[in-house]
Amino acid sequence: MERQKEADLTGKVAIVTGASRGIGKRSAIYLARRGVKVVVTARTVDNSQSHLPGTIGQTVSEIEALGGEAVAVGADLSKVEDLENIAATAFDRFGGVDILLNNAAVTVGYNWSTPFLEMPREDWLHHYAVNVHAPFTLMQLTVPSMVSRGGGRIVTVTTGSAEAHRLLEEPHPGGDVAYYHGDETGGIPAPGAAMNIPALWSPAYFSSKRALDRMCNVLAPQLAPKNVFLMNVMPGWVATESSEANHDLGDRADAKMVTMDVPARVLAYFAACEDPIEYTGRVFFAQRELAELGLETDD
């Protein structure tokens, strides 16, 4: 890829999901620094709702301290009425939507890493409700506004562990388990691999993210004529509040994390690049793209 000029985003409106902390919060701040008005949404409205630091109100406060505009909307993305309220707030407060950043996902809970035969159907469906169906619904709710405003961007956070390519096998550096080449977490496990390796931790999470990637891929040709473009970004192994608090990292314990600024900068680039037709419908790896495009983080 060749680096494109980034358009002025001043006055644009973005919805950022999962923005109480982590990549979502950092991306919301990156967009606000570029003049974007941001609808910040997540479940965490106050500090009593999570053992991790950060609320949507705190994200809004940090954006306002930078001189930006933002509004917080508490939402459970598995509920259609909450999704409708997010879109309605963007329309009522800022007049429309230009950018949708799908970041929120189910990454916690007792059954996140439960083996297939032990996972309740309700938990499986909840992963798909938040990780796939919520972005689908938010896209349906916001694309008409994007079209009426001349076009828009849908930028989605995915995971390298959603990759399913069957490539050449090689021994894993840490043991005898055979891996396929091909993703930033150390390779895709071959059939028969043990369940105690990260790339098999959450069947629902990884399979729903794969569905999310394919959904954006097949929707891209329908939306490109409307001047709406979709890009998915694999953030890599990122030093978020959640990952740093996780003391059960398995084979990733010694892996080097990247800062949240890496995916946030790449997500902001895709929101602003002037000719997104080159990128639409594709999946990108943040750390690689940051280096190859010569992007510099804000911080």
Closest to 28 in 3D by CA, of 260, 213, 237: 260
Residue ranges of E strands in 207-281 = 228-234
- So what's the pLDDT on residue 206? 87
* Three-state DSSP class for residue 180: strand
CA distance 267 to 31: 9
Q: Take residue 97 and report the two structure tokens written for it.
A: 């939507």
pLDDT, tens digit only, all 299 positions of the chain? 889 999 999 999 999 999 998 899 999 999 999 999 999 999 877 654 455 556 999 999 999 999 999 999 999 999 999 999 999 999 999 999 999 999 999 876 656 677 788 888 999 999 999 999 999 999 999 999 999 999 999 999 998 877 765 444 444 455 544 444 444 444 555 555 555 555 556 788 889 999 999 999 999 999 999 999 999 999 987 655 555 545 454 445 555 778 889 999 999 999 999 999 999 999 999 999 999 999 999 97
- So what's the pLDDT on residue 255? 57
CA distance 55 to 268: 21
Burial of 101 (0-12, 13-18, 19+ CB in 10 A): buried
For residues 250 and 288, the answer to whether their CB atoms sit within 8 Å is no
Domains of the chain: 13-164+202-293 (3.40.50.720)
Check: pTM over 0.75? Answer yes or no. Answer: yes
CA distance 235 to 185: 11
- So what's the pLDDT on residue 200? 58
70 - beta bridge partners?
Answer: 38
40 - beta bridge partners?
Answer: 16, 72
170 - beta bridge partners?
Answer: 179
Write the Ramachandran bin of 203: left for phi over 0, alpha for psi from -120 to 50, otherwise beta. Answer: alpha
